[in-house]
């Protein structure tokens, strides 16, 4: 996760002293001592914007009070509003067109008589009136599990039965599907209208984009057509990029992640009734895999290996596959031929070996946000080269999986680790991907680690069915349960190796959803109205360790439009933990991550308080979708 554009700053001790002095001068003597000001991982960043370097720090005192500051390269404190934004920069020049596209146009125009075309990805600004016409009602839920048994279920603060929650979720899923249909129709009309205005209505790619629910289109255009489009100054166009074809990421594993002894022996944790959609360059023949539907594509050795990993780790799930590394079509999502709906997507294929957040990341982030389906991506095997996490693995909502060797619990050197320009830490977690024998082939790479993690998630979901259509809660649970120590450093291993025994059996789930203002509603509902959404959870000191993770979704369209800003993330949440006596015991305050993590040892039994604050609400069009998982483990 270490990288060049966005990196940790070395000025910590000097700035702590400065901040302490400021606090002392304002009379806050109780927290003036430097040793009482701390910086948590991710709360200290530096970024170069429009050629100038800026430093960002969030400090926290012994009581959990947050203090932030921004300084320029000379160390002068500045207002964050003074930093250039993508919007401001775009007013000064044509930053929406990839330089490589312009270079390709120039080159082809110097060769008269040639009718060559350039394949480009065009990001479109589509209005989502389907969601705004039916605002999401506030919903909160909480579930406690102990040794695999559900001991308490809460829905909107009321205790309910499993059956009541199931009926509620059935109604919710029906609403999700109805909204999807409206969105598909409305977006389709917008894309068709745009295509007609640019005389592109006959291109097959327009229909493909509509069927996949994408807010971008991939087109083959002549230099003349591209010039005309650029000169049109069409405000619906948010970016024009050179298309990069994806590549499949190739470079005893189930024991390492506890799948063998903690998931497969139990009928409830083998992926039953969970649809997994895999996509890469090809798809294995249907004779190779049970409970499998090849929707499109030709067989490759890589797809046989990846499909066999999915089947081994999640034996009772249903697998769909489309070749060409594409999002599922809308007709795929609810299941094909009476088979289970798609709840999880895995893509062992990536492109864009740069740090830029591009249209591919935008589309896949938007898909998670709009469809509430979890996506896992391999992100490449660039560790011995650029190190870049490739697209769509850069996405804030997409879970990127690193690759480790389960024979020695060490990260594989080819595993990617360089964070994107958006500053979010990648990869989030790691899984076994070294010399994995499956489907008649032995392969190494994030391509092998990613289906392992996705199938792992399907096994969790088949038992914990409330994870369906709540990818933010699934992500929180997955990250909170990634407690296996893998050698290689945080940059490459993220929060750790996924472990089913740790993640699945004992812990507390809490989720919140609704419109953007629902955060304030939940703040009022907890009885305080103090700017925090608070949850009290009883934890026994009999547990050696606790890891709590908060995860939430962001709109890819916002991230893309603000990708050059200091902080492109639309919603920035922070997390604090207090013991039963009210003492602050830890927090997480990253600038750019769509998740926060706190580890602690429960020294006393009692009700611990978990307080969530919204540090920034930049994207007020974004709905609230956040999940909290408190993992008790030894």
From CA 37, how far away is CA 39, in angstroms rounded?
7
- 382 shares its domain with 492: yes
Q: For 286-317, how does the pLDDT look when each residue is reduced to its tens digit (9 = 90+)?
A: 999 999 999 999 999 999 999 999 999 999 99
Q: Mark which of 242, 260, 293 sits at the end of a domain.
A: 242
- 284 shares its domain with 424: yes
Q: Which of 425, 417, 443, 252 is nearest to 348 (CA)?
A: 443
Q: For 565-620, how does the pLDDT look when each residue is reduced to its tens digit (9 = 90+)?
A: 999 999 999 999 999 999 999 999 999 999 999 999 999 999 999 999 999 999 99
Residue 286 lies in a domain: yes
Contacts of 122 (CB under 8 A, 6+ apart): 216, 217, 218, 219, 229, 237, 239, 240, 241, 359
- 523 shares its domain with 476: no
Q: How many residues does the chain have?
A: 634
How far is CA 221 from each of CA 49, 198, 324, 331, rounded to the nearest angstrom? Answer: 32, 11, 20, 28
- CA atoms 228, 231, 235, 237: torsion sign: positive
- 200 shares its domain with 336: no
Which parts of the chain have pLDDT scores under 70?
Answer: 1-37, 86-95, 113-115, 131-133
Q: Which of 565, 559, 598 is nearest to 70 (CA)?
A: 565
Domain count within the chain: 4
Residue 164 lies in a domain: no
**Predicted local distance difference test score (pLDDT) of residue 7:** 42
Residue 19 lies in a domain: yes
> Within a 10 A sphere around the Cβ of 56, how many other Cβ atoms?
22
- 79 shares its domain with 97: no
Exposure of 545 in the CB half-sphere (CA atoms within 13 A): 13
**Predicted local distance difference test score (pLDDT) of residue 132:** 66
Contacts of 163 (CB under 8 A, 6+ apart): none
DSSP states of 396-449: SSSEEEEEEETTTTEE-TTS--B--TT---S-SEEEE-SSEEETTEEE-SHHHH
- The CATH code of the domain that includes 233 is 3.30.70
**Predicted local distance difference test score (pLDDT) of residue 94:** 45
Q: Are strands 532-539 and 247-248 parallel, antiparallel or unpaired?
A: unpaired
**Predicted local distance difference test score (pLDDT) of residue 456:** 98
- 412 shares its domain with 514: no
Residue 347 lies in a domain: yes
What is the pTM assigned to this prediction?
0.92
Structural domain boundaries, residue 556: 507-633
- Give the residues across from 403 on adjacent strands: 431
- The CATH code of the domain that includes 625 is 2.60.120.380
Collapse the DSSP code of 392 into the 3-class scheme (helix H, G, I; strand E, B; otherwise coil) and give the result. coil
- 443 shares its domain with 423: yes
- 425 shares its domain with 474: yes
């Amino acid at each position: 996760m270490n990288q060049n554009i966005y990196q940790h700053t070395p000025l910590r001790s000097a700035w702590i002293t400065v901040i302490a002095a400021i606090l002392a001068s304002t009379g806050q003597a109780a927290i003036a001592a430097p040793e009482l000001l701390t910086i948590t991982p991710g709360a200290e960043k530096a970024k170069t914007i429009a050629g100038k370097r800026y430093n960002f720090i969030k400090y926290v005192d012994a009581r959990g009070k947050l203090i932030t500051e921004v300084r320029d390269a000379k160390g002068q404190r500045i207002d964050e509003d003074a930093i250039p934004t993508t919007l401001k920069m775009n007013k000064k020049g044509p930053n929406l067109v990839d330089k490589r596209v312009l270079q390709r146009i120039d080159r082809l125009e110097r060769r008269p008589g040639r009718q060559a075309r350039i394949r480009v990805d065009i990001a479109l600004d589509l209005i989502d009136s389907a969601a705004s016409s039916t605002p999401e009602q506030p919903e909160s839920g909480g579930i406690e599990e102990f040794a695999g048994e559900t001991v308490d279920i809460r829905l909107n603060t009321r205790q309910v039965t499993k059956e009541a929650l199931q009926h509620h979720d059935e109604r919710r899923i029906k609403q999700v599907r109805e909204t999807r249909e409206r969105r598909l129709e409305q977006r389709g009309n917008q894309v068709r209208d745009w295509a007609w205005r640019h005389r592109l209505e006959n291109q097959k790619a327009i229909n493909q984009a509509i069927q996949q629910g994408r807010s971008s289109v991939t087109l083959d255009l002549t230099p003349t057509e591209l010039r005309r489009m650029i000169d049109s100054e069409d405000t619906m166009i948010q970016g024009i990029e050179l298309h990069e074809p994806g590549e499949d990421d190739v470079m005893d594993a189930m024991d390492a992640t506890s799948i063998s002894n903690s998931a497969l022996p139990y009928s409830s944790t083998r992926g039953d009734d969970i649809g997994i959609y895999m996509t890469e360059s090809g798809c294995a023949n249907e004779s190779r895999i049970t409970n499998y539907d090849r929707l499109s594509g030709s067989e490759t050795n890589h797809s046989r290996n990846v499909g066999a990993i999915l089947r081994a780790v999640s034996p009772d799930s249903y697998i769909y596959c489309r070749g060409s590394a594409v999002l599922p079509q809308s007709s795929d999502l609810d299941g094909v031929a009476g088979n289970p709906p798609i709840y999880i997507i895995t893509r062992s294929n990536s492109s864009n070996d740069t740090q830029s957040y591009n249209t591919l990341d935008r589309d896949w982030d938007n898909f998670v946000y709009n469809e509430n389906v979890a996506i896992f991506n391999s992100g490449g095997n660039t560790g011995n080269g650029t190190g870049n996490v490739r697209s769509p693995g850069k996405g804030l909502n997409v879970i990127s999986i690193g690759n480790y060797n389960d024979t020695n619990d060490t990260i594989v050197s080819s595993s990617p680790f360089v964070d994107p320009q958006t500053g979010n830490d990648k990869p989030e977690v790691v899984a076994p991907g070294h010399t994995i024998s499956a489907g008649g082939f032995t392969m190494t790479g994030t391509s092998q680690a990613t289906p392992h993690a996705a199938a792992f998630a399907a096994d969790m979901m088949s038992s914990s069915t409330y994870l369906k259509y709540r990818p933010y809660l699934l992500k929180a649970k997955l990250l909170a349960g990634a407690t296996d120590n893998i050698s290689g450093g945080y940059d490459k291993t993220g929060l750790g190796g996924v472990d089913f025994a740790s993640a699945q059996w004992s812990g507390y789930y809490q989720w919140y959803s609704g419109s953007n203002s629902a955060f304030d509603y939940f703040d009022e509902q907890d009885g305080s109205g103090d700017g925090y959404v608070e949850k009290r959870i009883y934890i026994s000191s009999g547990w050696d360790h606790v890891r709590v993770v908060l995860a939430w979704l962001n709109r890819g369209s916002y991230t893309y439009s603000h990708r050059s800003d200091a902080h492109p993330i639309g919603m920035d949440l922070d997390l604090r933990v207090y013991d039963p006596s009210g003492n602050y015991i830890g927090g997480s305050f990253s600038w750019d991550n769509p998740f926060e993590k706190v580890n602690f040892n429960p020294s006393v039994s009692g009700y611990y308080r978990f307080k969530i604050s919204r540090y920034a609400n930049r994207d007020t069009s974004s709905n609230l979708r956040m999940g909290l998982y408190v993992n008790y483990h030894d």
